[in-house]
């Protein structure tokens, strides 16, 4: 007999970052996660996570609004429902709740974890099976200080933890940013890949100037140079330069992916389970990209271990991630709330193979970091 959903808890958790993380729209010193715990009528528990960047500075959902949405709107629709048919539960939520993709992603992740534990299968097995057991992971250099970023990158290379780096730019005048990036590229050499993320900070005129200079400096690609729904500028820029563009904030789901590809965009899409309301939606977007000749990238919202491993299970089922992944979120935080953190080594990360997500909450750490 199928079990039912017995309880749903959403918990705010605040963990300091190892250093200030500077983006074009904000600087982070603490990451706030919404941890979701769903228990079935047999006492099994599934874990999920919803995490955004810098409160409301990045998008329309904040940690506080995510918790409120889950507590007041999503949970009442799910309690006492059969726990093993995720598609039916997704239809139920979408019929009653518009958008709120991050909150829905946390719920879907917890249900996948729960279903995996119920069946003795990993989440990647539930999603069709892992093709990869180890995925490459880049590191983001975001101190804003050129010398510090060079030192940080060199230490990562020496430790065999990362050999691909992304720089957050866009908060300074464009040529100051280019000078900063070019100096790091020159110091690290041609064997190291350097990419930049503008986080929508440029208009098309500025992006044209910046991308020309970045292309000349040997930078490998530019992420989201222009505003979210300015598809036309992304298409024109992708056709004007040989330096590739990675679309991130512009692409939430398969519909966005189809529309941008149909408009003539050439480049890559950043897959994020949070933007697509869960791993299942992110993989639907991946299918649209694959059919359109668009490259794939495993993106992050700077989630902790729970959200990161959920993404990794999804990415592991994809044959090719053309520009790798950035699943470094747990490494940006000073501590973790799981018993066994992910294994980062050999310039990448291992995919857990135990049932569900393959992680377990450290109750003492959760109690210490949960918002009082």
What amino acid positions are annotated as catalytic residues? Answer: 168, 326
Instruction: Name every residue whose Cβ is closer than 8 Å to that of residue 77 and which is 6 or more positions away in sequence.
Output: 92, 93, 96, 97
Strand order of the β-sheet with 134-136 is: 134-136, 348-350, 344-345
Q: Classify 96 as helix, strand or coil.
A: helix
DSSP state of 212: H
What is the DSSP secondary-structure string of 161-193?
S-SEEEEE--SS-HHHHHHHHHHHHHHH-TTSE
Strand order of the β-sheet with 295-298 is: 139-141, 164-168, 193-197, 222-223, 245-247, 268-271, 295-298
CA distances from residue 1 to 82, 89, 108, 202, 269 in whole angstroms, order as listed: 10, 18, 22, 56, 41
């Amino acid at each position: 007999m199928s079990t039912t959903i017995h309880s749903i808890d959403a918990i705010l958790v605040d963990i300091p970052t190892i250093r200030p993380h500077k983006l074009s729209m904000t600087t982070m010193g603490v990451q706030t996660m919404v941890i979701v715990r769903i228990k079935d009528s047999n006492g099994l528990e599934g874990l999920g996570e919803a995490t955004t960047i810098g409160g409301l500075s990045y998008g329309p959902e904040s940690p506080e609004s995510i918790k409120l949405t889950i507590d007041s709107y999503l949970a009442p629709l799910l309690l006492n429902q059969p726990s093993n048919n995720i598609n039916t539960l997704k239809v139920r939520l979408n019929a009653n709740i518009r958008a709120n993709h991050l909150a829905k992603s946390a719920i879907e992740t917890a249900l996948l974890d729960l279903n995996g534990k119920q069946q003795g299968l990993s989440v990647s097995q539930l999603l069709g099976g892992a093709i990869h057991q180890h995925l490459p992971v880049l590191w983001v250099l975001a101190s804003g200080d050129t010398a510090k970023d060079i030192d940080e990158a060199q230490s990562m290379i020496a430790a065999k933890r990362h050999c691909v780096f992304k720089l957050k730019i866009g908060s300074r005048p464009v040529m100051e940013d280019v000078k900063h990036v070019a100096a790091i590229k020159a110091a690290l050499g041609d064997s190291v890949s350097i990419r930049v993320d503008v986080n929508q900070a440029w208009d098309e005129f500025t992006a044209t100037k910046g991308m020309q200079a970045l292309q000349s400096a040997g930078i490998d690609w530019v992420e989201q140079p222009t505003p979210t729904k300015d598809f036309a500028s992304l298409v024109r820029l992708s056709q004007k330069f040989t330096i590739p563009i990675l679309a991130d904030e512009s692409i939430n789901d398969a519909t966005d992916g189809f529309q941008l590809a149909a408009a003539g965009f050439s480049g890559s899409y950043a897959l994020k389970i949070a933007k697509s309301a869960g791993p299942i939606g992110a993989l639907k977007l991946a299918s649209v990209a694959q059919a359109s000749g668009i490259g794939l990238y495993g993106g992050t919202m700077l989630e902790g271990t729970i959200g990161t491993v959920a993404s990794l299970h999804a990415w592991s089922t994809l044959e090719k991630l053309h520009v790798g992944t950035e699943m470094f979120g747990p490494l940006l935080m000073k501590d973790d709330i799981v018993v066994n953190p992910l294994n980062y080594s050999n310039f990448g990360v291992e995919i857990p193979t135990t049932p569900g997500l393959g992680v377990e909450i450290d109750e003492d750490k959760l109690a210490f970091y949960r918002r009082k």
